[in-house]
Amino acid sequence: MTATATGTTLTFAKALNTALADEMAADQTVVVFGEDVGPLGGVFRVTDGLTARFGEERCFDTPLAESGIMGMAVGMAMNGLRPVVEMQFDAFAYPAFEQVVSHVAKMPNRTRGKVKLPLVIRIPYAGGIGGVEHHCDSSESYYAHTPGLTVVSPATVPDAYTLLREAIRHPDPVVFLEPKKLYWSTEEVDLEALRAGAAGIGRAVVARPGADATLIAYGPAVPTALRAAEAAAAEGRSLEVIDVRSIVPFDDETVCASVRRTGRAVVIAEAPGFASVASEIAARVQERCFHSLAAPVLRVTGFDIPYPAPKLEQYYLPSVDRILDTVDELQWEEA
């Protein structure tokens, strides 16, 4: 973290760390735990310094047992705490999935709202870091398909801070997906303004205005979409980029307003395309914007294969070239 005359330069990871520290300072019921999140500060150093500042009762290490971590979080949340748990890597979270689906997502409904579970499940997810097997995966569809869960994925440093603080304050469970390849990205922010504001779970934003087509992305795909829009601008084509931010609840209003203006849409995501969040977004846009569309809604996603080895990652992940090739397929000759 570097302070300047105009603001503070933060990495994505430091923005998350600052959000955790600010919420722990503001609310004594917030506790942080998971594998290596204590003195080490987590694999990605997101929890760095929290144990030293708040003590081992507020930020502590757990055994290597994700189902146990999640079960403990459920019990804590039922008894008045606000647990923030870290699943060290996306694919490590699968042993806890039964707890998430059977208990975390269903408890408020099962008790007719009498028992709330205000907990956050932080998951470093997606690719771009050359991770080996079980260390990179795009698991958002599993959580988005489960009623009772709020699912968000920030793509910028300001959103990393504000969305995490809002997630911790949320009355219901939140799956907080942190793109691993963005942890070291930096932005200059007005930290005090961020502390006074709110991102707004359930609200998408226009990350780049445009007129000819809409690129819809979330999490790790947003920077790629922005690079594609910049490349397209050099060729005289104006692409609007929507950062979804909140997968569940989904902001139909902002997304569809953009598509109705541009008349064309491409959905971009790193996860495989079949039965995916990208599929749902494409369906929602097609249903709501049919009479405004000049071409079918298209998608650029990961391929329908197991996540590849590190040296093959570049061929699997959506790229600027794949996005621009797909934009070229939007029936421009019929406009």
Token pair for 99: 């707890």
Q: Is the pLDDT of residue 2 over 70?
A: no
Inter-residue contact 15 to 9 (CB < 8 Å): no
Inter-residue contact 179 to 155 (CB < 8 Å): yes
With a threshold of 0.85, does the pTM exceed it?
yes
> What is the C-alpha to C-alpha distance for residues 45 and 34, in angstroms, rounded to an integer?
13
Torsion of CA 246, 251, 254, 256, to 10 degrees: 120
Query: Which active-site residues does the annotation give?
Result: 135
> What is the C-alpha to C-alpha distance for residues 304 and 132, in angstroms, rounded to an integer?
18
180, with CB counted inside 10 A (0-12, 13-18, 19+), is buried
What is the residue whose two structure tokens read 């007005």? Answer: 190
Task: Provide, rounded to the nearest whole percent, the portion of the chain with pLDDT above 90.
Answer: 87
Q: What is the mean pLDDT of residues 144-167?
A: 97
Domains of the chain (ranges plus CATH)?
2-196 (3.40.50.970), 205-334 (3.40.50.920)
> What is the C-alpha to C-alpha distance for residues 327 and 242, in angstroms, rounded to an integer?
15
- For residue 240, give the 3-state DSSP assignment: strand
> What is the C-alpha to C-alpha distance for residues 213 and 240, in angstroms, rounded to an integer?
6
The whole-chain average pLDDT of the chain stands at 94
Q: Which residue has the higher pLDDT, 113 or 302?
A: 302
Q: What is the mean pLDDT of residues 264-282?
A: 97
- pLDDT bin (cut points 50, 70, 90) of residue 133 is confident
Inter-residue contact 49 to 195 (CB < 8 Å): no
Specify the pairing of strand 59-61 against strand 82-86: unpaired
| Per-residue pLDDT reduced to its tens digit, 71-95 | 999 999 999 999 999 999 999 999 9
